[in-house]
Amino acid sequence: MLATFLDFLQREQLMGSTLVAVSGGVDSVVLAHLFKQANLPFAIAHCNFNLRGAEAATETAFVQALAESYQVPFYSTQFDTTTFARDHKVSIQMAARSLRYRFFHQLRQQHSWHQLATAHHWDDAVETILLNFIKGTGIKGLYGMQPIDGAIIRPLLFARKQEIIAYAKAAKLHWHEDSSNSSNYYQRNFIRNKVIPLLHKLNPNFEATMQATASKLRDIGNCFDDHLMQIKKEISTYKSGIYYLAIDSIIHQPWAATVAFELLRPYGFTFTQIKKLITGRMTSGKRIDATDYTLYVDRKEWLITKKKPLLLQQAAIADATDAIAYGGYRLHCQVYANADYMLKKTATIAALDYHKLQFPLMVRPWQAGDWFYPLGMQGGKKVSDLLIDLKIPMVIKAQVLVITSSEQIVWVVGHRIDERFKVQRDTKMVFEIIVAEM
């Protein structure tokens, strides 16, 4: 197996200093042994999830002793997995996965390990494919795990479970069996212990067949990805923290929902949400939310932006303020003598008559009912109407700020100053504010 292991590492370009995740089970013990036999630079990391009492503590001691015998660095930690699962309203399995990968990635970055190796093998990949198919998935879910996923590598993906056990026995390795692996309470164990044996009755070469099928689907997926990238170039732009998707050009295609889902999946949106958008049930002005992002439906585009914390308080700008950060923006302030000042025609700069202002100025999000006298107009206008006239998309409207002087709006930031506070010939001092995204 060592020769096959090294060949797999070379072929899949998995070489590099490696943090190896070792639970103490046969798979991870074999993975660590192969790294040692290959004389590759590695360290061992282990997690105790405090789910199996003394059994888990014994495993931690075993893995530490293994690292010491190999004379490689050893890192370990413990988690209160049950409490984490309850507080975050996720399953024990999802809690454990989230906790261990967070720990592993922190270790990898802290100690400058190039990559993280897990002991997933082909049988694990088959279980993942079946689970994905049962729960619903895209094409990537149908060809299962890949040898490399960002900083995570899976150097045993070429091997079957029975090969790993045979290698461990031949090398006279010791390992610990996790008693929870025999329980059918967890979905993956149910697939492993109940479903796959039944599928073997239909096809004794089930795993080999799945491997061939997954390889074909992977090729199809790569073709799809190439096509998707071309569509993305044609219909999407990214500007000032907003992802614009000109969906109008593909919305009537029969494959529109799938393509849109693949484009938006990295932002956390579900296929059900995308399906509603495609079928026209979400009209202009509507929005949908994922965990960290919001999608706004505009006239011919979808606009996706990262959620920002609610701004519940105003921020003050004194006449001596140099700069202030607020709402994802940075406001730079400076006072000039009018005789030395040259007006700049740009929406990101407000030039105001210093002596007409009452300090401190206040910066806040605009609100329904806000009004002012837009530059060049004699009458008042609601801020909401100005934003409509300027055809500002909803996602940008939600982020618009105003600056006030004694509760009078002096600047709709980035769009229009108030006529009453503009710089004129008799202005002696200019208070300039420049806005920039952080």
CA distances from 114 to 41, 68, 78 (A): 10, 21, 24
- Look at residue 156 in the predicted model and tell me its pLDDT: 96
Residue 158 contacts by C-beta under 8 Å, 6 or more apart in sequence?
A: 4, 5, 8, 122
Domains and CATH numbers, the chain: 2-211 (3.40.50.620), 240-306 (no CATH), 315-437 (3.50.40.10)
Could you say which residues of the chain have pLDDT below 70? 178-186, 280-285, 309-312, 438
This prediction has a pTM of 0.62
Name, in order, each residue with C-beta under 8 angstroms of 388's C-beta and a sequence gap of 6 or more. none
Q: In this predicted structure, what is the pLDDT of residue 66?
A: 96
The torsion angles phi and psi of 302, rounded to 5 degrees, stand at -105, 140
Tell me, what's the pLDDT at 242? Answer: 84
Residue type, 170: A
Please state, in angstroms and rounded to a whole number, the distance separating the CA atoms of residues 75 and 21: 10
pLDDT score for 311:
61
Quick one: pLDDT at residue 335? 95
